[in-house]
Amino acid sequence: MKYIVRFVRFWYDFIVGDDWTIALGVVVAVCSTAIVHHLGLPAWPVLPLVVVVGLFLSVDRVRRSHRVPVDMGSGSKRSDG
Amino acid sequence: MHTVVLFAAAFLAAAVEMVEALTIVLAVGVTRGWRAAASGVLVALVALTFIIAVFGQAITRLPIDTLRLVVGTVLLVFGLQWLRKAILRASGLKALHDEDAIFRNEIDALQHTPGHDWYGFTISFKGVFLEGLEVAFLVVTFGGTQHNVGLAALASAIALVAVVVVGLLVHRPLSRVPENTLKFGVGIMLTSFGIFWAAEGAGADWPAGDASILVLLAVVCSISFGIVAMMRRSLRVEVVAR
């Protein structure tokens, strides 16, 4: 059982990661692109727009919950993603 | 199509796909380790060889749009994870020193655990498998329409050798690039390719065709740096206000 839990957790962490709203936003954006295409409208702007807005909102949510700036440097060592 | 044109078209198309795969493999190798990257490449090549040998001409009937939709969506979600974390680190919103500790713990764990880096393996595998499938698709379609699959396959093989040689030459300089800078770049590339493929798979037509990838790279890059600048300024204002 624990192996199944680990397996599911691995794929959840791998695909969804820290912020599940990004994954949900991408799925909604891809579906919206397909719908807009089927309506006969230019569908290519949908995905870039949703991705940019979603990325900004996700980072801004961290900024708003962030109280103490930890480091203003730009280099770092490797770690996951 | 003249023989030279067929060769050039197959070579260039295959080279573009292989460079995309090489970019992903190099990124995985530098950030996650060469063992995981190499094993991902190896398994992808075995899987590709098996699929091509078994299905042969039927590869032209594979629903490439469905493949692009699924792989593009996963790649986009994954790329956004990388980009988001890289932006948070570059902005100062994510603790770099804590990351150092995590890095040491991870390295320590990797050195003392006989486990395998499935993250690195899967990304490397996915990149090589999808691009390899596209190369196979291109070879069969380009070559098939001219009844000269052999020449198209030869052009792709030469493209593979050229791309691998370039990869071997650039992987050392690449390993000296600061980690978060590299992850920023990889996040931008995965996000841009993900947007391109997922949108194409969903039925969208890009105004400039394949060249739209370059525009997407520029747009995603500019916006990411813009977000970093905004977040940094916001943090400075917060510090001054105290």
Separation of alpha carbons A10 and B118, rounded Å: 9
Mutation choice for B interface testing from A59, A61, A68, A72 by most B CBs within 10 A: A59
Contacts of B216 in chain A (CB under 8 A): 48
State yes or no: pLDDT of B31 exceeds 80. no
Greater model confidence, B148 or B35: B35
A44 has a chain B CB within 8 A of its CB: yes
Find, among B130, B127, B135, B124, the residue nearest to B16 by Cα: B135
Enumerate residues 6+ apart whose C-beta is below 8 A from B28.
Answer: B36, B37, B40, B120, B123, B124, B127
Greater model confidence, A3 or B116: A3
Task: List the structure tokens of B106.
Answer: 């991870």
Q: How many CA atoms lie within 13 A of B182 on its CB side?
A: 23
Distance (Å) from the C-alpha of residue A33 to the closest C-alpha of chain B? 6
Separation of alpha carbons B215 and B44, rounded Å: 29
Whether A66 and B93 lie within 8 Å, measured CB to CB: yes
Find, among B163, B151, B138, the residue nearest to B7 by Cα: B151
State yes or no: pLDDT of B143 exceeds 50. yes
What letter would DSSP give residue B208?
Answer: T
Mutation choice for A interface testing from B82, B84, B116, B232 by most A CBs within 10 A: B84
pLDDT tens for B45-72 read: 888 888 777 765 665 566 767 777 887 8
Residue B225 CB coordination number (10 Å): 14
Please say whether the beta carbons of A47 and A29 come within 8 A: yes
What letter would DSSP give residue B56?
Answer: G
Q: How many CA atoms lie within 13 A of B38 on its CB side?
A: 4
Q: In chain A, which residue's Cα lies nearest the Cα of B30?
A: A78
What letter would DSSP give residue B92?
Answer: T
Scanning the structure block, which residue is given the tokens 């075995």?
B46
pLDDT tens for B162-188 read: 888 887 777 666 556 666 777 788 788
Calculated CA dihedral for residues B193, B194, B198, B200, nearest 10 degrees:
-10
How many interface pairs between A and B have CB atoms less than 8 angstroms apart? 171
Q: Pick from A27, A72, A77: which is nearest to B100 by CB? A: A77
Q: In chain B, which residue's Cα lies nearest the Cα of A46?
A: B199
Domain hosting residue B161, numbered range: 3-241
Show me where the domains of chain A are located.
18-65
Whether A76 and B100 lie within 8 Å, measured CB to CB: yes
Q: Pick from A43, A70, A72: which is nearest to B232 by CB? A: A72
3-state per-residue secondary structure call for chain A? CHHHHHHHHHHHHHHCCCCHHHHHHHHHHHHHHHHHHHCCCCCCCHHHHHHHHHHHHHHHHHHHHCCCCCCCCCCCCCCCC
Whether B203 and A70 lie within 8 Å, measured CB to CB: no
What percent of chain B is predicted at pLDDT more than 70?
Answer: 74
Q: In chain B, which residue's Cα lies nearest the Cα of A31?
A: B202
Q: Pick from A33, A54, A77: which is nearest to B99 by CB? A: A77
Tell me the ipTM for this assembly: 0.78
pLDDT tens for A36-74 read: 999 999 999 999 999 999 999 999 998 888 755 444 444
Separation of alpha carbons B80 and A79, rounded Å: 16
Q: Pick from A62, A63, A71: which is nearest to B97 by CB? A: A71
Q: C-alpha angle with apex B174: A73 to B196, nearest 5 degrees?
A: 90
Whether A18 and B232 lie within 8 Å, measured CB to CB: no
Residue B173 confidence (pLDDT): 61
Residue B104 confidence (pLDDT): 53
Total domain count for chain B? 1
Calculated CA dihedral for residues B64, A14, A31, B193, nearest 10 degrees:
-50
Separation of alpha carbons A37 and A14, rounded Å: 30
Contacts of B221 in chain A (CB under 8 A): none
Separation of alpha carbons A30 and A20, rounded Å: 16
